[in-house]
Chains A and B, each alone.
Chain A
Amino acid sequence: MRQFLTITCLILTALVADAQKGFIRGTVIEDGSGFTVIGANIRVQETGSGAVTDLDGKFSIEIAPGTYSLEISYIGFQTLTIEGVETKAGGVNFIGEIRLSEEAFETETVVVTAKTIRTTEAALMTIKKKAPAMLDGISASRMKLTGDATAVEAAKRVTGVSIEGGKYVYVRGLGDRYSKTTLNGVDVPGLDPDRNTLQMDIFPTALLNNLVVSKNFTAEMPADFTGGLLNIETKDFPDERIISASVSIGYNPAMNLNSDFLGYEGGKTDFLGFDDGSRELPAGAGTSEIPTPISVIGGKFTKQEASDFIAGFDPTMGAETQTSFLDYSAGISLGNQLKLGSEESSKGTLGYIFSLSYKTDYTYYDDVFYGEYQRLSASDAYPLRYANIQNGQLGERSTLVGMLGGLAYKTTSSKYRLTAMRLQNGVSRAGQFRIDNNGDAVGQSGFIAKSDNLEYNQRSLTNILLNGTHVFKEKGWELDWRLSPTLSTSDDPDIRKAAFSLSPIDTFINAGEGGNPSRLWRSLSELNAVAKIDLTKSYTFRGEGAKLKFGGSYTYKKRDYEILQFDVQFFGGSQSFPSGDPNDILVPERIYPAGNVYIQSGNIFPNPNEYNSTVNNAAFYVSNEADLLPNLKTILGVRAENYVQRHTGRDVIFAQGGDGNNLDNEKVLDALDFFPSANLIYSLASNQNIRAGYSRTIARPSFKELSFAQIIDPLSNRIFNGSLFPYPDWDGKLVETRIDNFDLRWELFQDRGQLFSVSGFYKFFDNPIELVRIPTQQTSSEFQPRNVGDGKLFGVELEIRKNLNFISPALQNLSLSGNVTFVESQIEMTSIELNSRKNFERDGEKIDNIRQMAGQAPYVVNAGVTYSNSDAGIDAGLFYNVKGRTLEIISSGLYPDVFFKPFNSLNFSLNKRIGKERNTAIDFKVSNILNDDLERAFSSFEAEDQLFSRFSPGVSFSMGVSHNF
């Protein structure tokens, strides 16, 4: 590694550009198709020198300072002359996209004046216009305008996208199971044990180039998405030299500089987004026999060993008030491209990029609410009865560090790219709650308690991409290959919980009420390794350009998951804590043998709360794009995927040594599937398309779903049963969901990135999988993934981007953009669900066996007004986002359905560029202007909604400054 770096540095040193000269750079694209033009000639009229565009359509000319005219020519296209191209010593004039039009009857040269076009939405719009799939996206420039800090905030600007839990991106309202995220076109592992999709809050926008959502499937894409495939493109090497730095601060009156903020003493490296080891599992805790008073009696350990072992657990169990600081972030980016060799004998271009970003946010909710409400048994009793209510304060400090480095080497026919990225996020949480448990409610014992919860979640993602692209222009071939390993981890080290029952006469720990204090370690790591090759052959069909694409990919995934849990126990004696201070539980005088406190293991080895799964997925595809009829582009393709999933895990009975179920790297899924797709694009006019598409896609069971897992997750207090267990009404055979997708869209493109489109879609789900709540379990929430009845989904999408100059030229700087998605989803309930709902049918209520799909928003609205005045260097925008009432948790009968209530998010951002060169930008942003609350609620027939959870994020302000040197 060191040698490699030394060589890299030597190369860079040798390549210091002649500071006397400047550069002219740009990209040549076909105006009609949006594709880059490879091999176009660029000639500087004044000097006669020139360049040829490379395989990305890019060129770079090194030239003495001055003002020049460029002549751009390519066979079959109108020659274009650009006048007044200025170059300064050591500077880069990046012309941007140069659009060549196809030769018409007249063959005059078109002359334009040079003006700077930035990487804008317009580029993305062209891609969107011509792409075989229906695309939507957001570019880096737009992310900058909206001021979004992470990918998850940026993604919600995309048509049909909604955000779930602040982390997950759902497309067209389809839930987690039907969305997929790729990074630079390859699979990346998820970071949540209970979800399929990737958490998007971990990607800082500073490292991203764009986000593109494909809403329908074409053969070169992975087949396991249905709502949308979100691809995150990280920064490639830049056209211009970049040395930029930015800093920003944020302030929320309720959260920052607040002396009531809750935190706890963590590790010394928390500010870097990872734990320094202070939350590590104490030595000896991860074994089948730990030192306890019981094992001391058994002669396995001494009292001293037991005492030392208990003392190995961090005694901090309580939250403490701290003063929160302002939110702050900083970032730097460096990048450039350098020509290798002399002007005459070019050895290609070397580019590099390095980007580092850091941010710390404080979140504090002074009135968090979690509720559990039940229906009453009498069918004429409509109001809901509370079973358990927790309310209190929650403080959260999140640190996100992102680092990306890349090198690229490009010749006229090949390009190689090596990118490495590391994301690190640490979130420290401390909460204090008052618990009111209602003894009248079913399964509840009735008590008042207070509880302190301390959590730390640390996530990381490390990705390396090695990518090569080769163009054999004469033969019409293009080859792209990628090798990309990614390792992700998500750990919750040492989650601590301590509750004291509060009775009029005592403050004490009661195992049957608030529960004994507990400590928990949960870890997830996943490796994905992808190798992918794509070949494109361009040819002519009936005089029109056509393309044959084929290729393959191999994906290997491996996931390891484990929970280890421990309870604080009392070896006889008093469980009273008059101080009510959780930090008094593990004090030396109360630890066994001096006192009665010891720690007991909840772990069996082999651990039933652990599994390892692998997937090997080999895929091949072939797809052809041709104009079968004039103006009708037809893309027909088929993809084959051979998918093998293996599982290692066991149930509790096996783990305890009994005759239970065990899987030892056994095949739980082995299937070869074919996924056809047909997409038709009919061009009504040069700026109008009608698209129609059909495709078959798949949603496969997740790693833990095809297992004998009996995972009792103390975090959610939910019990998960693997699908392989048979029940009287379930055969233990979970199959993949196959989905037929139909899409229709009309789109109109206008200049300046204006757009109008209307889409309709229909999807049919065969054997959809849902987590079915098991009604025989009354005292806790227990689930099993099962195939349920058929699902259907109908949707309409509208998108508009309109400049207001049609009203008055004075309004030409104002644009309106908006998109709306309406979806009607239907799923057939299982008989279990229907019965448990019928048991609690209220008088006058009519329950049928169809309901909306869980996680499916009925509508998603995005709207914005933007003001852009490049003369004044001002960009400003007001953005609104909301999604409709969404079913989140399916009713068990006793507990009604839980819905996510619409959150009206209104945000304002302002970006002003200052300085002679406009190199400094100041950003100002206001979030949640309407001061709305995030609420989930129980909803039952004729009953007032009751809160399931409530968070009040408040209004927050942030200000930042960035400078490009």
Chain B
Amino acid sequence: MNIRLLATLFVAFGLFFSACKDEGTTIFDAPSVTAPSGVISVEAGATGLSIDFSVSIDPDVTATYQAAGSGVTISNSSGSVSGSTITINFDAGNAAGAGSITVTVTDSEGKSDAATAVLDISDESIVRVTSNITADATWSADKVYILGGRISVVDGVTLTIEPGAIIKGEAGTGPNATALLIARGAKLMAEGTAAAPIIFTSVADELTSDDIKNGNFASPNLDPDISGLWGGLIVLGKAKISASNDDGELSEVQIEGIPTSDPNGLYGGNEDGDNSGVLKYISIRHGGSNIGEGNEINGLTLGGVGSGTVIENIEVVANQDDGIEWFGGTVNVKNVVVWNAGDDGIDTDQSWAGTLDNFVVVTPSGSCFELDGPEGTYVARHTIQNGTVVAVTSSRKIGGSLIDVDSSTPVDMKNIHFVAPLEGEGLTVTEDEVANTTFENVTFAVSAAVLPSLMEQGGAVPAGISAGGSPQANVSVLSWTWAAQAGGLDGL
């Protein structure tokens, strides 16, 4: 046996397990820098601020520093170190939240040390909400509320939002998604007005309370097709739903995306007259962040919401998932605009038993209507009426169906008009599965000859669907919306 070979193998083996390191000799002390302790509070937008870092370097070397900050603008971001203090001069940014300043000291020997001062940039007109709302609360018109997470208004508690208030969700996806959830038994009293709507949007939106006061409801900096920046508004109630865990007496399920270990996500029950509050003149924008694979938050999610709840004058702009989705319940909703939804415009599930009246759907990315039926034994019908649908514009076009119903979908669609252009766009209605669906005066802006080509199988046109027609929604009551202000409802 060749001993040298063996020795080589052992050495190689040893190196595989442990990297050897030679210690160098130290001649000079490494520099040391220390940040002020604790969190330093500063006012948002404040200028001429400074903080001191203490530093020590070996007397035999020279040193320089580099300062970097977040949420602040530093005026002396580098320099040489003299004495035992480095004073950093900065201005606080306008955004409230956490900030920091990190100073790195590097000496002429190449050794360095760094320390970070933690800042809390506060803005009294900005309130960051990170905990569930467990006692009645009011969010006022002159403030902006930041959703720092998935915030639930818990059972028995009422959240009142004054007209003109702005609520902004922080960015994130998956477990990090932000949303406002009204749990079963809780109430949301959000009565905006046409002159002072309540806006739910993203922290990226630079919309201010002053903009609202001035009647400018459009986002100053975000296009109306930017979606998925935050979650959405979820309202849950105790009305009947038709879910597959129906045990004959009661059906209740967890809203998608919230772990069942958080009981605020439960919806459904036996109280069809349940009241989750009042939602009026509310515009929900840029939401719909992903909360699980293929699972997003809708602009407005209504799970088991009862008929005692008032929901009218609602706008959903650029939501990554559906505009409004109903999961059972009995609530009626009227005066709605869904603009540039990332998935479907109007989505119903679990035998919703209410009416959607007077609405406009403009260019969702999925289907205009995605209407499903019962999942359990309980069956109830819903009505969708007096609406105008824009499937194609010069810049956007739907990717799904004009109407997507299942054979079991118990829905009555009345007085709905699909505007031109439709011909030659490859769009279809799933007419082969309309067994449980009725149509009355549902019109498509094409010639009678072209109409059959809009039917999925190119087959028969169901009764109640016809060619021609004109817009059915009354858009005058929707003039307060961003869509209307941006001209998106012109000609409807």
Interface on A for B, CB 8 Å cutoff?
A: 1-2, 4-5, 8-9, 12-13, 16, 241, 243, 289, 292-295, 297-300, 334, 336, 354, 377, 403, 405, 420, 422, 439-440, 442-443, 445-447, 462, 501, 503-506, 508, 510-516, 518, 565-567, 569-573, 575, 600-604, 608-609, 651-653, 655-659, 708, 710, 712, 714, 717, 719, 721-722, 725, 727, 774-780, 782, 784, 835-836, 838-840, 893-894
Contact = CB atoms under 8 A, between A and B. Distances in A.
A603 B344 CA distance: 27
Contact of A512 (B3, B321, B376): B321
A505 B426 contact: yes
Given A571-B226, A658-B131, A510 B17 contact: no
Contacts of B449: none
Interface stretch (B81-89, B192-200, B260-268): B260-268
Interface of B: 1, 3, 6-7, 9-11, 13-14, 16-18, 20, 70-71, 93-95, 97, 130-132, 134, 148-151, 171-177, 202-204, 206, 221-223, 225-229, 243-247, 252-254, 256, 259-263, 266, 288-290, 292-296, 318, 320-322, 342-344, 365-366, 370, 372, 374-377, 397, 399-400, 404, 406-408, 425-428, 433
B366 A780 contact: no
Given A776-B254, A776-B266, A727 B260 contact: yes
A9 B3 contact: yes
Given A5-B14, A727-B261, 4 more contacts: A511-B296, A575-B365, A776-B254, A893-B245
Ranked nearest first, the 5 interchain pairs of A and B with the lowest CB-CB distance are A656-B149, A602-B174, A657-B130, A512-B343, A572-B226
Contacts of B222: 572
Given A659-B132, A710-B261, A600 B173 contact: yes
A719 B259 contact: yes
12 contacts: A294-B171, A300-B70, A445-B344, A503-B400, A506-B399, A510-B365, A516-B228, A601-B173, A602-B172, A603-B176, A609-B175, A893-B244
A445 B202 CA distance: 26
**Chain B contact surface mostly:** loop
Contact of B290 (A516, A652, A840): A516
B294 A570 contact: no
A917 B131 CA distance: 79
A640 to B, nearest CB: 35
Given A243-B1, A511-B228, A777-B260, A505 B296 contact: no
B173 A5 contact: no
B253 A377 contact: no
A567 B131 contact: no
Nearest to A442: B375
B9 A600 contact: no
A462 B13 CA distance: 12
B318 A604 contact: no
A715 to B, nearest CB: 10
Contacts of B172: 600-602, 604
A608 B3 contact: no
Contacts of B343: 445, 510-513
Contacts of A501: 399
A512 to B, nearest CB: 4
Contacts of B206: 297
Contact of A780 (B262, B292, B406, B428): B292
A826 to B, nearest CB: 25
Contacts of A575: 365
Contacts of A405: 10, 13
B10 A503 contact: no
Contacts of A241: 1
A443 to B, nearest CB: 8
A658 B292 contact: no
B124 to A, nearest CB: 18
B245 A776 contact: yes
Given A511-B321, A573-B225, A1 B14 contact: yes
Nearest to B320: A511
Contacts of B18: 1
A510 B399 contact: yes
Contacts of A894: 244-245
Contacts, number: 281
A504 B329 CA distance: 34
Contacts of B171: 292, 294-295, 600
Given A299-B93, A505-B425, A652-B150, A782 B260 contact: yes
B289 to A, nearest CB: 7
A575 B174 CA distance: 20
Nearest to B18: A1
Contacts of B223: 572
Given A512-B296, A513-B366, A439 B320 contact: no
Given A377-B377, A512-B320, A653-B132, A504 B426 contact: yes
Nearest to B147: A656
Contacts of A566: 173
B372 to A, nearest CB: 7
B173 A602 contact: yes
Nearest to B7: A9
B7 to A, nearest CB: 4
B372 A512 contact: no
A442 B253 contact: no
B133 to A, nearest CB: 10
Nearest to A728: B263
Contacts of B17: 420, 422, 462
A657 B293 contact: no
A733 to B, nearest CB: 15
A708 B256 CA distance: 20
Report which residue of B174, B177, B294 has the largest number of chain A beta carbons within 10 angstroms of its beta carbon. B294
A565 B290 CA distance: 12
Given A512-B366, A774-B254, A780-B256, A712 B204 contact: no
Given A9-B10, A777-B253, A777-B254, A658 B149 contact: yes
Nearest to A725: B261
Nearest to A405: B13
B294 A515 contact: yes
A572 B71 CA distance: 25
Contacts of A422: 16-17
Given A403-B13, A839-B245, A776 B290 contact: no
B175 A657 contact: no
Report which residue of B228, B263, B293 has the largest number of chain A beta carbons within 10 angstroms of its beta carbon. B293
Contacts of A712: 174-175, 259, 292
Contacts of A420: 13, 17
B342 A511 contact: yes
Contacts of A9: 3, 6-7, 10-11
Contacts of A779: 256, 295
Contacts of B342: 510-512
Contact of A778 (B6, B175, B253): B253
Contacts of A658: 130-132, 149, 151
Nearest to A722: B261
A658 B180 CA distance: 13
Contacts of B407: 440
Contact of B294 (A292, A513, A653, A655): A513
A604 B176 contact: yes
Contacts of B397: 505-506
Contact of B131 (A518, A657, A775): A657
Nearest to A445: B370
Given A294-B171, A501-B399, A508-B399, A289 B132 contact: no
B262 A652 contact: yes
Nearest to B406: A440
Contacts of A784: 260-261
A297 B13 CA distance: 53
A331 B203 CA distance: 59
Nearest to A714: B293
Report which residue of A297, A440, A445, A510 has the largest number of chain B beta carbons within 10 angstroms of its beta carbon. A445
A263 B271 CA distance: 55
Contacts of A657: 130-131, 148-149
